[in-house]
Amino acid sequence: MTVLVAGGTGFVGTAIVHALRARGLDVRVLARDPGRAGSLESIGVELVRGDLTDAESLAPAVEGCTHVVNLVAIIKGSPADFERVMTRGTAALIDTARRAGVIRFVQMSALGTTEETSTLVPYYRAKWAMERAVESSGLEYVLVRPSFVFGRTGGALPTFVKQVKLSPIVTVIGPGTQRLQPIWLEDVARFFATIVDDARAPGRTWELGGPDVVTWNDLYRAIADALGKKRTLVHVPFSLARTGARLTEWVPLAPLTADQVTMLEAGDNVCSNSDATDTFDLELVSLADQLRRATA
């Protein structure tokens, strides 16, 4: 069994690759610049140069692989960028996997992806199109929709922690009453390493969230408590936040895009069921422990 991981050099991808290798599986990672992913070679990962936007580069990467895990996504860009990287890139990988005789295709989507939200922003539109392409591929497939993925040094959590740590006044987009269900990075990685070949996994869409559901107000207060800080929350209306984001979103390292504000306004980001936890008997890191680890 050999697993190709597309997107295996990113925040979530690197953790998933480590989890796959911890199981002793042979792992190949598709990398646009293998030289920048050299640390993965030290754990026995094979690096292959390629890019989902370059269909010709995919055949050598997929050749000899029995399973494919696709994690590739972008969070900002033009509608054409989302179409090129996520929608068409995934279609090219599916086509290559099918021709190569891959046994199972595992696709990471995102919690909140539905036919209704696909009309809101290009990110959800691309995620919905990716899911439909995988479902209709003819391959054995698994779809995974994780909630916000928290980690000690990557993803959104360090930004939230820095925001609370440095400012006595913390701005919250909207009323702060929308709910989320953060899940710890290593828990996501273990889940992917499990379902990549588990007989119970295929033909399903698995929603994956942490053990605790909180509002954004609750989250910021919990971060403040973990830091031993007293903070005042100030709420910025969605319309004002969206206007401000439009003015700055193209600046490198801009904290927020107008589309992300729209996604926050769309509503709760929580699992509709506990199937993933129940089926695979998952032991998940509590939000309190997540914050302790991130603020230590």
Architecture category of domain 2-149+183-209+271-280 in CATH: 3-Layer(aba) Sandwich (3.40)
Q: Where are the domains of the chain?
A: 2-149+183-209+271-280
pLDDT one-digit tens code per residue, 186-213 = 999 999 999 999 999 999 999 999 999 9
pTM of the model: 0.95
Q: What is the 3-state secondary structure (H, E, C) of the chain?
A: CEEEEECCCCHHHHHHHHHHHHCCCEEEEEECCHHHHHHHHCCCCEEEECECCEHHHHHHHHCCCCEEEECCCCCCCCHHHHHHHHHHHHHHHHHHHHHHCCCEEEEECCCCCCCCHHHCCHHHHHHHHHHHHHHCCCCEEEEEEECCEECCCCECHHHHHHHHHHCCEEEEECCCCCEECCEEHHHHHHHHHHHCCCCCCCCEEEEECCCCCEEHHHHHHHHHHHHCCCCEEEEECHHHHHHHHHHHCCCCCCCCCHHHHHHHHCCCECCCCCHHHHHHCCCCCCHHHHHHHHHC
Look at residue 51 and tell me whether its pLDDT is greater than 80: yes
Residue 28's pLDDT is 97
pLDDT one-digit tens code per residue, 101-136 = 999 999 999 999 999 999 999 999 999 999 999 999
pLDDT one-digit tens code per residue, 19-48 = 999 999 999 999 988 887 878 999 999 999
